[in-house]
Amino acid sequence: MAKAKKKSDQQNTISAVLPWLSRNMGWEKQLDQHSIFVKWREIVGEDFREHAQPQKIERGVLWLEVENSSWLQQFQFAKMELVDNLNRCLKLTSIKDVKMVLPKGDVFKKYEKPGPMVSFVRPNAEKVAAFQRQVECISDEKCREALMQFWYLAEACKRTTK
């Protein structure tokens, strides 16, 4: 009986601490804003996604590295629409502005499109089932689902080198 109580206490502690920690450390808003990096290809149109890459977000301003000055001008014309599209994808925060820069170095040099920094590789069904068995002891359904989603993304998103 004491063992069951310990698990229940741990589950309540974890389910209370994770959202609290995320909120109080400001991670929720940062995670929300940085979801733009993952969703970039879906947010911008097919014409634009190959010609600019998001670099950073500072104080609500998204910085883009744009292929060349011609594309910089095109992005400048579409800036308001881009901000609207970005903000539609965000739940907790908003993007106030978009700033664009050209690649460092010789701006007349052919722009090399960077390879993906993170690739998505679905975990196999056995790994997913094994992790589900591990977390099924968590009685709080929201906590269990959040942990499952976190694990899935951590397992599926693989950092690649250039």
pLDDT string in tens for the chain (162-residue length): 455 555 555 556 777 776 777 777 777 787 788 888 888 888 887 778 888 988 988 888 999 999 898 899 998 998 999 899 899 988 888 899 999 999 876 444 454 555 556 677 788 899 989 989 988 888 888 888 888 888 888 887 776 655
Instruction: Indicate the fold that domain 2-114 takes in CATH.
Output: GMP Synthetase; Chain A, domain 3 (3.30.300)
* Backbone φ/ψ region at 7: left (φ over 0), alpha (ψ -120 to 50), beta: alpha
* Cα distance between the two ends of the chain: 54
How do the domains of the chain map onto residue ranges?
A: 2-114, 115-162
Q: Which two tokens stand for residue 157?
A: 């998103």
What is this structure's pTM?
A: 0.53
